[in-house]
Amino acid sequence: MTPTITAFESSPDRAQGLARDMRVRWALEEAGQPYEVRLVSFKAMKEPAHRALHPFGQIPTYEEGELALFESGAIVLHIAQRHAGLLPHDANARARAVMWMFAALNTVEPPILELQTAKFAEGDKPWSAERLPLIKDRIRARLDDLAVRLGDADWLDGAFSAGDLMMVHTLQRLKPSGLLDDYPNLAAYVARAEARPAYRRAFAAQLAVFTGAHPAG
């Protein structure tokens, strides 16, 4: 059964692929699975019909027969567990790949979200400029550790996995800040992921929503 995901009807990031539907699109492309997309407006996201799917009124959601999920991490893990291409077969390696998904979402992403909140929710406050360096220091503390662990490897633990997918998408949000430029191996890691055919197909698909183009012809 072809799953249906939800995505923003109009892009808050000018279709740079930073919205969380990109994670699900990318995972489905890595797994070679077709999917349908239902676009949701900012207004509709907060209404009861959408909240029945996503209690926090956000995107993406994932519907497949009787199953309805929200949370990009949960959706990507569900796809990764059901289809080949995103998790290793060995049980221990599989647990470590899932570990990197959680590390991306719960250790690396929180200070990056703080930077976004500082800009978009508190950008007009008198403390805004003075706080930015503090937040950036907290992000750098995570990037320092991540860069050491990655070293000169291509991916975080052996072959590309759902852990890399989540980590790369989390790091991509740092591009406008320039923070990644100080970490050549992390910047190369992100670029390596972006060169994957599955990533490019997912990126084109989210871009097409906003340009009106049809990537698959």
Binding site for a second copy (CB under 8 A): 51, 55-58, 66-67, 69-75, 77-78, 92, 95-96, 98-99, 101-103, 105-107, 109-110, 113-114, 117, 121-122, 125-127, 130-131, 134, 138, 142, 145-146, 148-149
For a second copy, which is the closer residue by CB, 168 or 209? 168
Give the C-alpha separation, 193 to 51, whole Å: 33
Give the C-alpha separation, 205 to 214, whole Å: 8
Return the structure tokens found at 191.
Answer: 């670029």
Give the DSSP letter of residue 178: T
Using only C-alpha atoms, the chain has a radius of gyration, in whole angstroms, of: 17
Residue whose C-alpha is closest to residue 15's, from 209, 196, 216 = 209
Give the C-alpha separation, 35 to 22, whole Å: 13
Contact at 8 Å (CB) between 9 and 40? yes
Shortest distance (Å) from residue 91 CB to a second copy: 8
For a second copy, which is the closer residue by CB, 77 or 205? 77
For a second copy, which is the closer residue by CB, 58 or 172? 58
For a second copy, which is the closer residue by CB, 46 or 213? 46
Shortest distance (Å) from residue 113 CB to a second copy: 5
Contact at 8 Å (CB) between 87 and 157? no
Contact at 8 Å (CB) between 70 and 5? no
Residue type, 184: P
For a second copy, which is the closer residue by CB, 69 or 193? 69
Shortest distance (Å) from residue 207 CB to a second copy: 25
Shortest distance (Å) from residue 9 CB to a second copy: 21
Shortest distance (Å) from residue 187 CB to a second copy: 18
